[in-house]
Structure 1
């Protein structure tokens, strides 16, 4: 994905939340977006699959392209776009359906499966990739909401990858989870990188340093600095980044 001079306005243009942000998301990489609360990182993330379209009075300017096509072009249908650019939210949000139906729902809607056998195979494959198959295989007909928090988040990841996305967006996917569940999700992110591009917003600098290859630091709607994760944490070029990394503010 390529983002060029992206501005985001709220309240019909009265409040500017993002100022001219340009960054690329490479294939098979995890890019982490860090910064103090309210700095615009989640707002920016939501531009990447047009989730901000659902907010009244929100306007996005600039260009965001996926495989060379502007995702904000008038002829773009957001339904297939949100399959191509999937999203995992802060709080696990399984549908009030069975574990099986949570994963099968997207592929059925998008016509990716023709019959029960294909659906069974895709559900199993998605749950295996999300590291949930062994725990869920004997309870596929039970509600997804009956799983633990960490399992629910992995179910949401399985649901996202079932529709074969190119990019996965994660908005603080571990903030509601305990350390053990967090470690499992982080391991999973590293595995998923082999097949997908991943952009993750995280409030945890330790998490950013563990899971990402590149890190972008946001401050008050500006992208202050972006670079290899190791360089951002060990030798940032900008004083604002340095102050945040060393805990002087944020």
Structure 2
């Protein structure tokens, strides 16, 4: 069997649970193996996602540790963003989407029909690929969430929340003298940091980021990456990224997805230097994807 045939036998082989063809016995965490060395923020077990009759996510089990950055990488269409949206039930907004399995936030079942979805999305905030500030002032972009969730008693408290959120997002000094300006008038990088500030203004536990830098220039990307590193001191962050270099820079652990399945998750340095599965190695070395 030549090198290409050997490689294709790995790519085309079925992937069922921990016994993945090509898997190597190494690393602190492979599929289905729970985190043992840190507190868990979110625990996902045997998650399947269907769009009508088509299954998009197959039996994914994954722990997300508190105050870590977990990067999810893989080829386009491999299910990264679909799985990310499970974590705050954004898939509920798609009529034909069905999510099965166990998803827990601090040991609470977020799939429970009695779960307050608005409250869940306050606890698990989201930053999207394209900056999407509200067509309101910079101040109102930040104030909106705390106001509707009843987090403030008066204007002075709201002012403090707005300043703190913008400060944590590294934007306060740039906008403090023009808080009444429309948020959509900011640069692309500033808009994305405004969206991050909007997410953290309601004091979430987890922040989901779906390719947050894909629409940004290199300078704005570097600023957001520095911000991510600072924010993990307070929040758990899960980031979907098409950039392996970005995953290597910002995350402590990396999960590799392929064709709707979680191939492996491990410390980021191990994923990029000594991956535990041949599919992961083939992707990070550029042989496919």
The normalised TM-score by structure 2 is: 0.86
Deviation string 1:154-173 (CA, Å, 9 cap, x unpaired) is 00000000000000000000
Residue 227 (structure 1) aligned to one of 257, 266, 284: 266
1:69 to partner: Cα distance? 0.6
* Aligned equivalent of 1:8: 49
* Aligned equivalent of 1:96: 135
Structure exhibiting the larger radius of gyration computed from Cα positions: 2
* Aligned equivalent of 2:277: 238
Gaps of 5+ in 1: none
1:103 to partner: Cα distance? 0.2
SS in 2 for 1:75: coil
* Aligned equivalent of 1:57: 96
Instruction: Please say if 1:121 is aligned against 2:160.
Output: yes
Number of equivalenced pairs: 248
Which structure 1 residue ranges, 4+ long, deviate > 3 Å from structure 2?
none
Q: How far apart, in 2, do the equivalents of 1:95 and 1:63 lie?
A: 33
Instruction: Please say if 1:187 is aligned against 2:226.
Output: yes
Q: How far apart, in 2, do the equivalents of 1:75 and 1:54 lie?
A: 17
Deviation string 1:198-247 (CA, Å, 9 cap, x unpaired) is 00000000000000000000000000010000000000010100000000
* Aligned equivalent of 1:18: 57
Instruction: Please say if 1:34 is aligned against 2:67.
Output: no
SS in 1 for 2:65: coil
Deviation string 1:120-165 (CA, Å, 9 cap, x unpaired) is 0000000000000011101100100000000000000000000000
1:56 to partner: Cα distance? 1.2
Gaps of 5+ in 2: 1-41
* Aligned equivalent of 1:44: 83
Alignment of 1:31-180 (within 5 A): 31-180=70-219
The normalised TM-score by structure 1 is: 0.99
Query: Please, what is the CA RMSD of the aligned residues?
Result: 0.4
SS in 2 for 1:18: strand
Q: How far apart, in 2, do the equivalents of 1:62 and 1:213 lie?
A: 26
1:74 to partner: Cα distance? 1.2
Alignment of 1:200-219 (within 5 A): 200-219=239-258
Q: How far apart, in 1, do the equivalents of 2:63 and 2:209 lie?
A: 16
